[in-house]
Structure 1
Amino acid sequence: MPMPWLDPLARLIDAGGPVLVVIAFVAMLLFSVGLERWWFFRFHYRPARQALVGQWVARGDRTSWSAMTLREVWVRDLIQGLRGPLPWLRLLVVICPLLGLLGTVTGMITVFDSLSLAGTNQARAMADGVARATLPTLTGMAVSVVGLLFITRLEHIIRREDQKLHDRLARAAEDAHA
């Protein structure tokens, strides 16, 4: 049974070649990790942050060197949970343009191969082939730019949460002394 809603996807894959499928897979992986980070922040990090503040307030000693060191270790461990997938996200972002270039090179090889068989006087066929060969580069760059925007936003959230957590713990210690 034919599925007409898949026709545009099939035409896109036909136009971009098999590398476009790989770029689509990397994009899905990138956006899946992004969705997982949102889920982690919303449903794991926030309760863990509240628990850490409660644990800090419940401590009797909050001013000694060992208490401050323990606080830093707790904060670092919690923030590290947010930073965990950043290297993988950066890797996926870097891979996308390279895959796009691979698609362009393989597409150009196909164009030149078909031109050598058909003859060199077909400028229209060459222009069409070059346009099809550059589609993976465009796709790889677009996915990479969106991934960079996501990574930048995630790094901003991590810096903000790190500062917020330090401020909240300091305020909790002051409130407990008062």
Structure 2
Amino acid sequence: MQNVFNGLQEFLGTGGNILFYIMILTFFMWTFILERFAYYLFAHKPLKARLKAEWDARTDKTSWRAHAIKDELISQVKERTDTNVGIIKTLVALAPLMGLLGTVTGMIEVFDVMALSGSSNARLMAGGVFKATIPTMAGMMAALSGLYFSTVLPRWSARETARFADDLDVSPETVVY
């Protein structure tokens, strides 16, 4: 465990302070992604069952009020399935920008070395260039790790909302065997 901590600390030191912020951003992004998985695994089916039972308990399913209640039940499912999806998409989009910020800060260090030394010695600039590329790579990797989920989760939300709406439309009286 000590080796992991030392390795992480060394990696964060090579890329500058911005790597710490990229690490925090990635942690929150994956926390929200895992929260969505936990919702679909544990909370989604009970919510659908409860709302479906609420709809099935109604005697009036054809009036304007019944349709408004049905729309409200569908909206509850949509709201719950869409929770945190926008945040995930934002964090995925923000990760490469944070990497670019690290690139800029690393290049500023290169220019500081050039200004202090009065020359463009490649050996003196190498440390700053290295410090500039590490955050870019980390930001891109963070974004790529969440990109799949930022596109899949909205589709899951739309599919589950549509399925629930379809479940409310089917009643035992209208099913033909």
Q: Does TM-score exceed 0.5, indicating one fold?
A: yes
Task: Show structure 1 runs of 4+ deviating over 6 A.
Answer: none
Deviations 1:111-143 (A, max 9, x none): 221233235252133234313212111211221
Question: Larger deviation: 59-68 or 124-133?
Answer: 124-133
| Partners of 1:57 and 1:176 within 8 A in 2 | no
| Partners of 2:81 and 2:157 within 8 A in 1 | yes
Structure ranking higher in helix proportion: 1
How far does residue 3 in structure 1 lie from its aligned partner after superposition?
2.4
| Partners of 1:100 and 1:136 within 8 A in 2 | yes
Question: Larger deviation: 51-60 or 155-164?
Answer: 51-60
How far does residue 155 in structure 1 lie from its aligned partner after superposition?
0.5
| Partners of 2:22 and 2:139 within 8 A in 1 | yes
Partner of 2:56: 57
Cα–Cα, structure 1 residues 121 and 78, in superposed 2: closer, same or farther, change >3 Å? closer
Amino acid at match of 1:135: I
How far does residue 31 in structure 1 lie from its aligned partner after superposition?
0.4
Identity of aligned residues (%): 34
CA distance in 1, matches of 2:19, 2:4: 19
The unaligned stretches of length 5 or more in structure 2 are none
The unaligned stretches of length 5 or more in structure 1 are none
Cα–Cα, structure 1 residues 176 and 59, in superposed 2: closer, same or farther, change >3 Å? farther
How far does residue 21 in structure 1 lie from its aligned partner after superposition?
0.5
**TM-score, normalising length: structure 1:** 0.88
CA distance in 1, matches of 2:125, 2:111: 8
How far does residue 90 in structure 1 lie from its aligned partner after superposition?
2.5
Amino acid at match of 2:100: L
Q: CA RMSD in A?
A: 1.9
Partner of 1:113: 112
| Partners of 1:96 and 1:143 within 8 A in 2 | yes
1:14-93 to structure 2, matched below 5 A, reads: 14-93=13-92
How far does residue 37 in structure 1 lie from its aligned partner after superposition?
1.4
**TM-score, normalising length: structure 2:** 0.88
